[in-house]
């Protein structure tokens, strides 16, 4: 593997994991106070009970209601043209996948930076960033 060929870029998706006790007030903040475009989306996930999509400039902010959290966390999207090559590169640099965090498609992976920020590793797409 040529480590010089591994490339990463930021994706458009940002997820905020919000404790259930603070979820309604948080949704209200984005919808009623900031007046951003917000839509509840159906979700079938063992760790996320509800989700709202917020148009956040050129990004999409996902407000995820989680049952077992005591504080919020922000998770980011990281894109790469070759996921498996990127995973091998990350492993060689001491970064392991942590796919047990949340159910995702098998071609994707979760990783964390040393500070604990979670990233979904997703395949880089063509000209349309929301493909």
pTM of the model: 0.84
pLDDT in tens, 99-122: 999 999 999 999 999 989 999 999
pLDDT at position 96 over 60: yes
Whole-number Å distance between alpha carbons of 22 and 82: 37
Whole-number Å distance between alpha carbons of 131 and 118: 22
What are the domain boundaries of the chain? 3-123
pLDDT in tens, 36-94: 999 999 999 989 999 999 999 999 999 999 998 999 999 999 999 999 999 999 999 99
pLDDT at position 129 over 70: no
Terminal CA-to-CA distance of the chain, rounded, Å?
28
Please give the CATH number for the structural domain made up of 3-123.
3.10.180.10
- Which segments of 29-93 does DSSP mark as H helices, in order? 83-92
């Amino acid at each position: 593997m040529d480590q010089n060929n591994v490339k990463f870029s930021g994706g458009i998706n940002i997820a905020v994991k919000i404790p259930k006790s603070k979820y309604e007030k948080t949704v209200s903040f984005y919808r009623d106070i900031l007046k951003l475009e917000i839509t509840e989306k159906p979700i079938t996930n063992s760790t996320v009970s509800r989700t709202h999509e917020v148009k956040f400039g050129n990004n999409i902010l996902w407000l995820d209601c989680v049952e077992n959290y005591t504080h919020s966390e922000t998770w980011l999207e990281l894109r790469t043209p070759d996921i498996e090559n990127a995973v091998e590169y990350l492993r060689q640099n001491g970064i392991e996948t942590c796919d047990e965090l949340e159910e995702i498609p098998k071609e994707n992976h979760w990783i964390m930076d040393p500070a604990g920020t979670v990233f979904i590793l997703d395949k880089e797409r063509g000209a349309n960033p929301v493909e």
